[in-house]
Amino acid sequence: MHLTLGFSPCPNDTFIFDALVNKKINTGDLHFDAQLEDVETLNQWAMQGKLAITKLSFAAGLKVADQYELLNSGSALGRGCGPLLIARKDIPLADVKNLTIAIPGENTTANLLFSIAFPGAVNKKIMIFSDIEQAVLNGDADAGVIIHENRFTYQQKGLVKLIDLGEFWESRTGQPIPLGGIFIRKDIPENVRQQVDGLIHQSLQHAFAQYPALSPYVKAHAQEMDEAVMRQHIDLYVNEFSLDLGKEGWTAIAKLKEMSGQPV
In contact, 195 and 26? CB cutoff 8 Å: no
Q: Are strands 84-87 and 143-146 parallel, antiparallel or unpaired?
A: antiparallel
**Residues at the annotated binding site?**
55-57, 109-110
* 90, amino acid identity: D
Q: Is 206 a catalytic residue?
A: no
The whole-angstrom separation of Cα 111 and Cα 217 is 29
Alpha helices, H only, 88-189: 109-117, 132-138, 165-173
Q: Which of 2, 31, 148, 206 is catalytic?
A: 148
Query: CA-CA distance, 69 to 26, in Å (whole number)?
Result: 24
- Residue ranges at the known binding site for substrate: 55-57, 109-110
Which of 90, 214, 237 is CA-nearest to residue 152? 237
Give the HSE-up count for residue 151: Cα atoms under 13 Å, Cβ half-sphere. Answer: 21
For residues 206, 207, 210, 214, the Cα torsion angle rounded to the nearest 10 degrees is 150
Catalytic machinery residues: 148
